[in-house]
Amino acid sequence: MQKLRILLIDNSILASEKIAQGLLLRLPAGSLVEKCLSAIDAQSKVELFRPDIILMNFALAVFTINGNPFLPALIRRTHLPVLTYGLLATSAESARALGAADYIMKPEDSADGAFLSTLTLRAVAIAEKHHPPKPLFAPGDMVTRDIWTNTRQAPPHITPTAKAAPGSIRNKMVKMSPIAGKPALKEQAKPAAQKCTGKCLRLIAIGSSTGGPDALSQIIPRLSPPMPPIVIVQHIPATFSALFANRLDGECSLHVKEAVNGEHLEPNTVYIAPGGKHMTVVNEGGRLRLRCMEGPRVHNCAPSADVLFHSVASAVDNRDVLGVILTGMGRDGAAGLLEMREQGAKTLGQDEATCVVYGMPRVAYEKGAVERQLPLSKIADEITRIARAK
């Protein structure tokens, strides 16, 4: 069996804990099980956790969001297999009709060994059918040095490299030779960080919420050096901000990291606010620095886009700043982005047609905080154009 990432959706804390523990005892080493208690929670976690398969209590599968059953909407959105379970045998037909890959009867005791073994084996079989195991690498593949050195003994002329600091060559790749699976001598690398030759933007600040992880995954990988520091507030649970930053970092030519309190901002680096903490920018003798601190929730959010944007408006000459507000529920970010614009910042907002939830961008646009609205597919190009036009 291959190791799996499983998202478990069950509205019972006790049941989900028992099922998660039982799965981890039976799954291959290195497998992960992430729990969520509601359909709303699942929508954000599926974007951040990137599971191979979803396991769901059928009672939640028929939960309605905007008048639509949750299960088919989740399948359409994620294109992932969903294995359901429940107490009633009569629910099996309904589960499959809604799009579930299968349905398993669950006894009253969620820790029942036979149930957990069946659930594990069925989850593995469905996940492997949906994601067939692939060879780690084949002739002509591009393989990161981390993968190469972690899976077989590196030849003497190849030494594992730790992740370098921003601005240096990172993530070197080795092209596999078609002969005996040995690495060819030619290496390719992400381009080294470049510096602006003219007057560049000094800072880019972005706020996003519901649907934001997917939106950021389409924007940030399309940005390349030279870029000013980018600070991002994504409404996100504390356990997921570092995971999200690490995943983005593997997809980008910019360096992406979870922000650390007190660190100075560096070009070609993206800072994701830690979940549960407000992130602000302060100016210390001309150098920009981050503060990441716990504090009262703003618009019921921590981190808050408004907190970040207000700090940017105070800390930097906003004529050298770009503010961006993306998909999200509520009004967080609108007031802070308006202050940035009034201080001279250029501002962009995601348009209604491409938002998962057109809440934050709508409020910001109606308040006059957004200079231009753009579809998601054009935001990265516009950020690049503004950054290079200075």
Q: Which residues are catalytic?
A: 209, 235, 332
Candidates 125, 117, 68, 118; CA nearest to 101 is 125
Could you give the CA distance from residue 203 to residue 287 in angstroms, rounded to a whole number?
12
Q: Which long-range contacts (CB under 8 A, 24 or more apart) does 69-75 make?
A: 69/98, 70/39, 71/95, 71/98, 71/99, 71/100, 72/98, 72/99, 74/39, 74/42, 74/43, 74/46, 75/99
> Please, how many CA atoms are within 13 Å of residue 305, restricted to the half-sphere of its CB?
34
**Spatial CA neighbour of 88 closest among 67, 111, 62:** 62
DSSP readout, 9-22?
Answer: E-S-HHHHHHHHHH
Among 189, 247, 260, 258, smallest CA distance to 221 is for: 247
CA 140-145-149 angle, 5° bins: 105
- In the chain, the amino acid numbered 38 is S
User: Longest Cα pair distance anywhere in the chain, in angstroms?
Assistant: 69
